[in-house]
A = this chain, B = another copy of it.
Amino acid sequence: MALFVQKYGGTSLANLACIKNVADRIVAAKNAGHQVVVVVSAMSGETDRLIKLAHAVTSNPHPREYDVLISTGEQVAMAILAMELNHRGYKAQSYTGSQLKILTENRHKKAKIKHIDTQLLKQTIDDNAIAIVAGFQGVDEYGNITTFGRGGSDTTAVAIAHSLKADECQIYSDVAGVFTADPRIVAEARRLDHITFEEMIELASSGAKILQKRAVELSGKYKVPLRVLSSFDEGPGTYINFTEMPHMEHPVVSGITYNRNEAKITIVGIPDKPNIAYKIMGPISAANIDVDMIIQNNIGDGKANFTFTVAVEEYEHSLKILDAIVSELGAKQIIGDKNISKLSVVGMGMRTHCGIASVMFNALGLQGINIQFISTSEIKVSVIVAEKHLELGVQSLHSAFGLECATNEGS
């Protein structure tokens, strides 16, 4: 008998047929003798409907009330799923973040979890019942409803799995696991049976939408056994591995990922002096804007260009902030481009294999794809290219690294 925390995303709960399918899976685990705690997102479309309602009132809704509103999405989904399970004769009890006392900091829209009181969950499990938990939401010390930001249900699932010392945290969505590349772009893309935690982090931060980066980080911090799988088929999904495998058995490159949701901004001709990066990045981070890649390059005459990328949604806001300080910076001008994409090659094997970057650059060059700029980490190389080159770039990289062959079988 194992204890599983199963998280079902919005597309897995899109309508009644999907909810019945999810109930089938829960019941199957239960009938196999396992204990199950379920975390749900809102039914797909519901969160967007609620956000639209809020934005009809004002473009800047009061954060406390925004969380009160938005958190109803998961509450509806959990009640419907619990009804379906009770209807089938299985005991099921739903809990909001407030009811479960998922205690967060006193902050709205992006609150972080401080503590989960497991008493009620343990009681429910001991009672042989299925606990259905609203993802994405908690409560602060004053009883205010808080939410965790988009994708926060993954975080709820991992945090609960950790608190309950669950045997596995299973993240169900509409994709069958982690692939060597997006199967919609690369027909030969393969599902990976397992992947290291470090690779998963890099994939999540490189734009692969399969799992929220924060949830992966949390699972890494607490070594929560994690599996990503589809609620629509029977495959084993992809298991996220914390025990490092011997390098020789590990493939050099695990996957190719992309993000078309970035925009780049270049501040041209700033004085090449110490502290200038902080003068630019300070106001940006003060506005709570996440920056992805950063590059600074000398252009002669004691001048430099400073380039960084942000999410497309933050592009206009970032430009506005920089416009206000452009003269103070002593910069010549600010230019930006929303039509870019990031391509990344990720793999633990890079640590011990040289030349990954040059294979990458060569593969893109052969296709005539111009690389605008480059950023590397120990197990990742990312490049920015024109958005129109995204598909071709992913396909050529997948093929250049031979990912269509199953090199990570048996490891």
| A interface, CB within 8 angstroms of B | 16, 19, 50, 53-54, 56-58, 60-62, 64-66, 68-69, 71-72, 75-76, 78-80, 82-84, 86-87, 92-94, 96, 98-99, 120, 143, 145
Contacts and interface: CB of A to CB of B under 8 A. Distances in A.
A381 to B, nearest CB: 44
Contacts of A72: 72, 75-76
B76 A62 contact: no
A82 B62 contact: yes
20 contacts: A53-B80, A54-B80, A57-B80, A57-B84, A58-B84, A58-B87, A62-B83, A62-B86, A65-B82, A65-B94, A66-B83, A68-B79, A68-B96, A69-B75, A69-B76, A69-B79, A71-B75, A72-B72, A75-B75, A99-B145
Q: Enumerate the 4 nearest inter-chain pairs by beta-carbon distance, A residue then B residue, closest first.
A: A69-B79, A62-B86, A72-B72, A68-B79
Copies in the complex: 2
A143 B87 contact: no
Contacts of A68: 75, 78-79, 82, 94, 96
Nearest to A72: B72
A99 B96 CA distance: 12
Contacts of A60: 87
Contacts of A64: 82, 93-94
Contacts of A99: 98, 143, 145
Contact of A65 (B54, B79, B96): B79
A49 to B, nearest CB: 10
B56 A16 contact: yes
A42 to B, nearest CB: 11
Nearest to A94: B68
A83 B98 contact: no
A66 B79 contact: yes
B83 A58 contact: yes
Contacts of A96: 68
Nearest to A58: B87
A99 B65 CA distance: 13
Contacts of A71: 75
Contacts of A120: 143
A386 to B, nearest CB: 40
Contacts of A83: 54, 57-58, 61-62, 65-66, 69
Given A56-B16, A80-B57, A82-B68, A87 B75 contact: no
A61 B16 CA distance: 14
Contacts of A94: 64-65, 68
Given A50-B76, A72-B72, A80-B53, A86 B65 contact: yes
A76 B87 CA distance: 27
A76 B53 contact: yes
A54 to B, nearest CB: 6
A87 B16 contact: no
Contacts of A69: 75-76, 79-80, 83
Nearest to A43: B53
A50 to B, nearest CB: 7
Contacts of A16: 56-57
